[in-house]
Each structure stands twice: as C-alpha cells, then as structure tokens.
Amino acid sequence: MAVCTDRKRHRYMKIDLNNPQDFTFANVRKLLASGNADRDMEIRVTKAGVAFLSEVTGPEQMEGISFRIGDIAMNAGDGDFIGPAARAATDDKLVDQVFRTLKKNWPNPGSTCVDVEAY
C-alpha cells in the first residue's frame, strides 16, 4: 500500500491490483476513507494496475488510465462514499461492491468508464 500526493497536496492511498497482499477488501475500505469528502473524486486505475482516488473526474486526463469507476464520482460534501467519516468506512456491502468491480475489470475492463455493480 502506498500513498500518493496530488497537485493540491491532499494525500490519498493507492492500491496495486497486481499484488494480492495489497489488493484486499481492507485496503479498498482504506482507499475510500483516505479521500477528501469536500471534493468530487473518482477511482481510477492506471494501465499498470494501480487504483487511486482522483480529483479529476469524468473523461478528462485519461492518458495512462485503463479505466475509472464513473458512478463513484463521489459527490462533494455529501460524505457518502469518500473520506474518513464516509459510509464506506462502515458499509461492508459498498466496499465489497467496489472491491468486486475493481477485480472484475482488472486487467481487462469492458470500457474506460465502469459502474459499481450490485452483487
């Protein structure tokens, strides 16, 4: 598990989807909790298989990106999905849905924008 710093100096963790010790349910929960609840964010996955939170949302700046989870373009300020007090911090079903969506779409996503699937 690593931490990356974006251009606004917010620190978000990232997950190597190729490493089973890194790509775990617990780390997906930590990834969601590491974000900034005051910003719109989405999960992106690089072509190298690194999942991270991005403040860039939508189809912009997709160079080097394999796919993004579009419907988790977390709404700024509502705290549902991102940040330490977010629903993801306590909602196992939501974390599992994100975990399974990452697992299903790496390394061969059906699209550059995928949705969290209900399981």
More confident: 23 or 4: 23
The C-alpha atoms of residue 14 and residue 20 are separated, in whole angstroms, by: 14
> How is the chain split into domains, by residue range?
2-105
What's the pLDDT tens digit per position in 41-79?
899 999 999 999 998 989 999 999 999 997 665 544 455
Residues 65, 12, 69, 77, CA torsion sign: negative
Report the DSSP beta bridge partners of residue 67. Answer: 45
- In three-state secondary structure terms, 34 is coil
Contact 101, 72 (CB under 8 A): no
Query: Which tokens sit at 101?
Result: 């969506």
pLDDT of residue 75: 45
Enter the pTM of the model. Answer: 0.84
